[in-house]
Chain A
Amino acid sequence: MKYEAPLEKYPVNIREAVLGKGEKAIKIGGENTFPFHFFEGSLPDPPGLALEVLDIQPENWSHWVLEPFQDVVSEPVKWAKRCVDVFGAEILCLRLLSTDPMGKDASPKQAAVIAKKVADAIDVPLIVWGTGTEEKDSRVLTEVARLCSGKNLLLGPVLKGNYEEIAQIALEHGHAIVAQASMDVNLTKELNIALCKFFPPEKIVLDTTSSALGYGLEYTFSIIENVKQIGLINRDNMMQMPILADFGGECWRSKEAKESKEQGILWEAITGITFLLAGANLLILRHPDTLKLIKEMISEKK
């Protein structure tokens, strides 16, 4: 039996989602094969790498992950610009933690003002993330969507309990959404079917909920792999949206990441590379060194 390279070709593509507007708009997804399988298919869009900023002062961040932003963490706009101008983030994620009902409980209007300031200050695509509290997020993201109309933000997390309101408003104001389901392939598909009844699938990015290295990484890895394959191999068009992995915060909260800068960076970077290998099309990171490291690894040519 002679050896023939066992190539596999799939006839469908993951949809391409466009984030942001203008020169610095970014496309993610679009592939018709597995991650890094350039030898048997096409992957037109490199994975998107985002850095995150909070709209409140970080609490309990270890020294190593605070250090790059120490002097700007009380000002979201400055912090955002630091990420983009100094650390080269091509996507930014703004966490509206001020709106947490168990915390500051800021109003949707207050939060939207911050979001608009940040959106106006940077030219890269902006992800705006709530707190995962369904009712509050619905009101907050609605205000954000209105005030930032036309900017093509990526709004999340959109959940089973609030997708109708948020998706509707996103549609009206030209934004994309992150559909989040918790670690379950069936729940992911159910939410997508419900959304696609009225919302364009190419403006959906999936979040299957990520867990850090040592804290459930393998669950996330297998779910992302599975979702990707259901889209590519089983050709299920309700599972052909690009996927994001959001884990920077969880990695840096772990006691392992706090032991040393090297271990912290690796905790985040190893988690990230694992999810890229599963099929994630966008990573939300916290430390700029992690971003730099992953970017260099994925950019290497043959």
Chain B
Amino acid sequence: MALKGAEIMKRLPKTNCKECGYATCFAFAMKLATGGAKLEDCPYLAPEVKAELEAAMAPPIKLVTIGVDENALVIGEEEVMFRHEKTFFHEPGIAILISDKESDSDIEKKIKDIKEFHFERIGKELKINLLALSFESGDKTKFETLVKKAYETTDFALILICNNIDVLFSAAALCADRKPLVYPITKENIDLAIPKLKELRTPAGVKGESIEEIVSLTSTLKEAGLEEIVLDPGSKNVREGIRDQTFIRRAALKKGFRPLGYPTITFPCFMYQDKFKEALAAAAFITKYAGIIVISPADKHFLFPLLVHRFNIYTDPRRPMTVEENVYEISEPNEYSPILISTNYALDFFIVSGAIEEANIPAYLCIKDTGGIGVMAAWTSGKFNGEAIADFFKKYGIENKVKHRKLIIPGVAKKLKDELEEELPDWEIIFGPIEGSDIPKFLSKEWKK
């Protein structure tokens, strides 16, 4: 929060009238500072004071939306430099660059390929968010054709990259209702751009040769009432990019410096020819604060690792990731296949299921819902003890799935064996390895048949 309770207090009526629901103006001010109350609750704030307070209390990094409806990209409103301080909130958008220089058929193919990409991980879809359409042909008609094609045949949010201000905005008019990001707005074209931006009310990508240049651009835009802004500090490679992204985020979060309080856009596609380096640069920017990352078209083997990477970095460290409770069949088990059981903590699931696959031994993996906590903690809280697992067995009819009566339990759960021998007297309870990664060795040695 940008403003402290004491600061807010200075602007309040100080009458302690209690109409806001709090005993004193000071109490109200403290609540406002933590976001527990709304300015509207005080009926005695003068409009200018309310506006001033609103601006000062606004999140340090503006929330910006590009695109509309379910494919809108929402970025900004970040609160920390390091995810372990709290979390990163809004996943950056990944944009794929298409140049209008290409032939119509190549463009069509690229768009078709991008539309057909489908990536997922533990049930969550990992999306490509935007198409970045680049004016490189020098031919206005060609660019407009590209923009029309992207607009009419896809639902992606759009970025229009065009260094000719007239061509840029005439193309933007063709897809205006999809709120495209128009880029670049620079010190050379900002005066021409402002009336057009006011008309279209579409987000603006501001580019400077330095951070100082960006500062003056965003201030000008803000004065004109335009605040849907994304920043490009003109970094030429990863090293500069890390520096610039760090400066912008520090200035916004730690110094409350409003002219840099906007999400950013980065262009690995323009920094590197080599696809591998471009991918690494993209990963670096995902890690280091970028709001949008624009990459060249690539096949799924380049995209998938990046999408998983984004998913990982933007996972909320405060909440454990879970998978659904179920009896997972790995590599088509039959009635003689081994049965293993573990918790629904996503990481454990990955490690154990991956290890079983690696072992190339078909198996049933029982995953019990423990609220995402691991084996030992779940056992201690009664979510993964003998009784809980016996209930699971009943619920999923495990006895009917296999002819044998052997259950492999995590090696760390020392006391679970005795409990299960009591709850499931027909079953032989076997300790699996302590480390999930030892499962392949364990299964090939211990599991006959």
Binding site for B on A (CB under 8 A): 1, 3, 5-6, 8, 36-39, 60, 102-103, 211, 213-219, 221-222, 225-226, 229, 250, 253-256, 259-260, 262-263, 265-267, 269-270, 273-274, 277, 293-294, 296-297, 300-302
Contact = CB atoms under 8 A, between A and B. Distances in A.
A253 B440 CA distance: 11
B246 to A, nearest CB: 7
Nearest to A260: B301
Interface in B239-269: 239-240, 242-243, 246-247, 250-251, 254-255, 257-260
A102 B279 CA distance: 39
Contacts of B215: 3
A214 B121 contact: yes
B350 A215 contact: yes
Contacts of B280: 269-270, 273, 293-294, 297
Interface residues of B, number: 55
B27 interface: no
A4 to B, nearest CB: 8
B14 interface: no
A263 B279 CA distance: 11
Contacts of B243: 36-39
Nearest to B317: A222
Given A38-B239, A103-B441, A222-B84, A215 B279 contact: no
A3 B212 contact: yes
A255 B357 contact: yes
8 contacts: A6-B251, A36-B239, A216-B350, A225-B82, A263-B301, A266-B305, A266-B306, A277-B287
Contacts of A5: 211, 247
Nearest to A39: B243
B308 A259 contact: no
Those 8 A-B pairs whose CB atoms lie nearest each other, nearest first: A263-B301, A6-B250, A222-B84, A262-B301, A266-B305, A218-B312, A270-B283, A214-B308
Given A262-B302, A293-B280, A8 B250 contact: yes
B441 A213 contact: no
B260 A213 contact: no
B112 interface: no
Nearest to B438: A102
Interface in B122-143: none
A38 B82 CA distance: 19
A294 B317 CA distance: 27
B317 A300 contact: no
A160 to B, nearest CB: 15
Nearest to B275: A262
A263 B304 contact: yes
B237 A300 contact: yes
A3 B354 contact: no
A269 B301 contact: no
A254 B354 contact: yes
Interface in B108-167: 121
A214 B350 contact: yes
B317 A218 contact: yes
Given A222-B84, A297-B280, A102 B441 contact: yes
Contacts of B308: 213-214, 256
B9 interface: no
B250 A267 contact: no
B102 interface: no
Contact of A259 (B83, B237, B301): B301
Given A3-B260, A60-B358, A266 B313 contact: no
Most buried by B among A3, A60, A269: A3
A60 B299 CA distance: 26
A266 B312 contact: no
